[in-house]
């Protein structure tokens, strides 16, 4: 998939620069056209000649070193790239990118490009958790930059933890998958995704909710958008980290979510119902804050509307519905019962009591059950990878694989 693709590799200063050399080699072997630009500090670890020999292209290190007088180098590079990879990305470079600083060849080119930009951080375990670095990463994500998560392991500083640059082989896999997605298997399709927990109001300051973070639904939304779909996310999660092209509909309660989904149902090609919707809501909401009184307090609860069941029962023949089942026991039995009762096309089930498969984390362990009798058990994967599997099934079901 990389044959003939133009990949611009931006290398910043850190001991992980040696992995960028290996990455250049592997990308070139895969058929990509690779050009490399380096910061001044990156050249302290590896000379430009190493990248030049492996890429068979000039290496760019100075904004004012114009190798071709007929073009402006940083603009020419920015326009040339199909994909820009920043690896390794130091905290310093991430900070410059987030704040629009352009003071060298790398940062100037990054500001000028309209190609997708991926950042692969590499730094000390404490640095990557620093509020300033986290803030800069979140800002870049909102701007459309995507990140290749660092690994956990032994770091050059002597610490053991998260901060190692992802291995070149895995970065190549990500890039290859990206160009596969360019086929846009969901192009033109309209996908509605629900994500996260609902909030059921008790009084002006209290509400009932659950532990769902929305991460699984958000990953599905991002993967569907990458495949060309028009994606709408209905969620009660405040300020979700989502690509700018994804439409976000903010709700609070189960009733709000029900109304938002059903208002848009006719226009959708598919539904991915990943939200953990409250089954019950307070029958009476107090206008004023409840005061603490002696003894216990009892609340009357009423059943909320079953959004997945409503969508499944009212869907057209050409619409696809995917539901989720978070279980703690009898996972297969409960998932199959839900699949039939909700008239879904697929149910994605997981045992949330298992390590790595619960709420709020970045990984999941799921089994996908199909109304056609299919069953696919996935091992422990990042939620992004689970989302890829779900969107692949969605594309096949819609006849767009």
Catalytic center residues:
157
Residue 338 annotated as part of some ligand binding site? yes
What is the CB-side half-sphere exposure of residue 276 using CA atoms within 13 A?
21
Terminal-to-terminal C-alpha distance of the chain: 16
C-alpha distances (whole Å) from 167 to each of 220, 237, 302 are 25, 33, 52
Both tokens of 134, joined, read 């986290």
Of the candidates 274, 308, 307, which has an alpha carbon nearest to the alpha carbon of residue 386? Answer: 274
Query: Cα separation of 131 and 141, whole Å?
Result: 15
Q: Are 362 and 215 in contact (CB under 8 A)?
A: yes
Do residues 388 and 177 make contact, with C-beta atoms less than 8 angstroms apart?
yes
Strand boundaries in 114-205, DSSP class E: 117-121, 146-147, 151-154, 160-164, 190-195, 200-203
Is 147 labelled as part of a ligand binding site? no
Integer Cα distance of 100 and 15 in angstroms: 25
Strand partners, 282: 301
Residue 86 · residue 7 · CB < 8 Å: no
393 annotated among ligand-binding-site residues: no
**Cα(169)–Cα(41) distance, integer angstroms:** 25
Q: Is 342 annotated as a binding residue?
A: yes
CA 311 – CA 197 distance, rounded (Å): 18
- Is 324 assigned to a binding site? yes
Antiparallel, parallel or unpaired: β 190-195 and 200-203: unpaired
CA distances from 293 to 300, 301, 329 (A): 17, 20, 37
Q: Which residues participate in the annotated binding site for CTP?
A: 279, 289, 324, 338, 342
Q: Which residues participate in the annotated binding site?
A: 279, 289, 324, 338, 342
């Amino acid at each position: 998939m990389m044959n003939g693709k133009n990949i611009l590799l931006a290398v910043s200063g850190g001991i992980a620069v040696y992995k960028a050399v290996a990455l250049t080699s592997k990308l070139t072997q895969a058929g990509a056209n690779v050009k490399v630009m380096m910061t001044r500090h990156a050249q302290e670890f590896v000379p430009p000649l190493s990248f030049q020999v492996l890429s068979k292209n000039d290496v760019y290190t100075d904004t004012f070193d114009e190798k071709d007088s007929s073009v402006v180098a940083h603009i020419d590079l920015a326009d040339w790239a199909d994909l820009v990879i920043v690896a390794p990305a130091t905290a310093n470079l991430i900070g410059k990118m987030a704040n629009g600083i352009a003071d060298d060849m790398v940062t100037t080119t990054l500001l000028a490009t309209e190609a997708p930009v991926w950042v692969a951080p590499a730094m000390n375990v404490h640095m990557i958790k620093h509020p300033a670095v986290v803030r800069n990463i979140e800002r870049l994500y909102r701007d459309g930059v995507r990140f290749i998560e660092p690994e956990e392991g032994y770091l050059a500083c002597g610490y053991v933890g998260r901060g190692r640059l992802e291995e070149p082989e895995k970065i190549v896999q990500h890039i290859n998958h990206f160009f596969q997605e360019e086929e846009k298997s969901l192009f033109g399709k309209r996908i509605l995704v629900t994500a996260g927990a609902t909030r059921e109001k008790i009084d002006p300051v209290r509400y009932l909710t659950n532990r769902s973070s929305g991460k699984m639904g958000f990953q599905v939304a991002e993967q569907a958008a990458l495949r060309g779909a028009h994606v709408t996310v209905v969620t009660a999660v405040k300020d979700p980290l989502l690509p700018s092209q994804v439409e976000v509909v903010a709700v609070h309660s189960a009733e709000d979510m029900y109304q938002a989904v059903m208002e848009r149902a006719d226009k959708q090609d598919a539904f991915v119902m990943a939200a953990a919707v409250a089954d019950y809501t307070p029958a009476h909401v107090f206008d004023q804050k409840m005061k603490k009184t002696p003894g216990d307090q009892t609340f009357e609860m009423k059943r909320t509307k079953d959004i997945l069941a409503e969508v499944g029962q009212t869907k057209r023949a050409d619409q696809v519905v995917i539901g989720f089942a978070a279980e703690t026991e009898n996972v297969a039995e409960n998932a199959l019962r839900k699949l039939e009762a909700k008239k879904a096309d697929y149910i994605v089930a997981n045992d949330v009591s298992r390590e790595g498969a619960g709420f709020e984390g970045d990984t999941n362990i799921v089994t996908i059950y199909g109304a056609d009798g299919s069953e696919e058990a996935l091992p422990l994967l990042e939620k992004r990878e689970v989302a890829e599997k779900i969107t692949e099934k969605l594309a096949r079901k819609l006849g767009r694989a």
